[in-house]
Structure 1
Amino acid sequence: MGDGYAFWYFLLNLLTIFLFVMWSWLLITVFADLFRRHDITGFGKVVWVIVLMLLPFLGVFFYLLDQGDRMAERQQARTMQAREDLRRFVGYSTADELEKLAKLRAAGTITEAEYSRLRARLL
């Protein structure tokens, strides 16, 4: 009987640790998005930081309600910019990738449908 009691404490502790890690990740994500933003002033950032410090749960939820969709857009834009920067640094361009796709299609490695799908993704 004592073992079952300890098992429930273990599960409760596991759930608590999971929720703490998830909350920490969410808070870090919100702060990272807040400090990377260029569309608000320093004063706006200070106000958000104060709200997040004084009312962390409500502050994060308000931020996600207010900025959730734009957070995803900004993250996607940063990802695309990083991809383009990497391509420029490495020396690959979209034209080079289209040429490789044409060679793969000519060799029969990829089908016409795959070629069209990959070409559309590149363009």
Structure 2
Amino acid sequence: MPFWSLMWVLIDTLFFVAYLVAVFYILWDLFSDSTLNGWWKAVWVIFLIFVPFLTALVYVIARGRGMAERAQRRRGVVPEDDSYRPRASANPASDIARAKELLDSGAISQGEFDAIKNKALTGRY
């Protein structure tokens, strides 16, 4: 078999496998979507059978955002929440006083106290 014929067979195989992966992912997403009723699922499947490439393209364009959200839910990824990040205190004086108490009790060093004081005064955490 000539080299270029082999290359075209490999390229065709690559595109075919990529297309099959996309179609199976669409089917997986379609049947895992609990908000879509059975009739709409049947319509999507029929169109995937008879007009596969165009239907796959339309599905990804029309329902792409939902696909990503459902995939994140299946993996257990939740939207990022900033509530765990430390916030600048409303009263830097109380932060400094609390740090001073810790310094006096020996729980923190002078360097740690200075860092806490600097953060309280500048508001950068």
TM-score (norm 2): 0.59
Q: How many residues align structurally?
A: 77
Per residue, is there more helix in 1 or in 2? 1
Please name the residue that 1:69 is paired with.
65
Look up the match of 1:58: 54
What is the letter of the counterpart of residue 70 of structure 2? R
Structure 2: distance between partners of 1:47 and 1:17? 28
Q: Secondary structure at the match of 1:9?
A: helix
Q: Does 2:17 align with 1:17?
A: no
Gaps of 5+ in 1: 82-123
Ranked by relative contact order (alpha carbons within 8 Å, sequence separation 6 or more), the top structure is 2
RMSD: 1.3
Deviation at 1:26, TM superposition (A): 0.5
2: distance between equivalents of 1:70 and 1:47? 18
Q: TM-score, normalised by structure 1?
A: 0.60
* Cα offset, 1:52, TM superposition: 0.9
Counterpart in 2 of 1:111? none
Task: Write the mapping of 1:1-123 to structure 2, written as runs, cut at 5 A.
Answer: 6-80=2-76
Helix, strand or coil at the partner of 1:53:
helix
The 3-state SS of whatever aligns with 1:43 is helix
- The higher radius of gyration belongs to 2
Whole-angstrom distance in 2 between the partners of 1:40 and 1:26:
19
Quick one: which amino acid aligns to residue 56 of structure 1? P
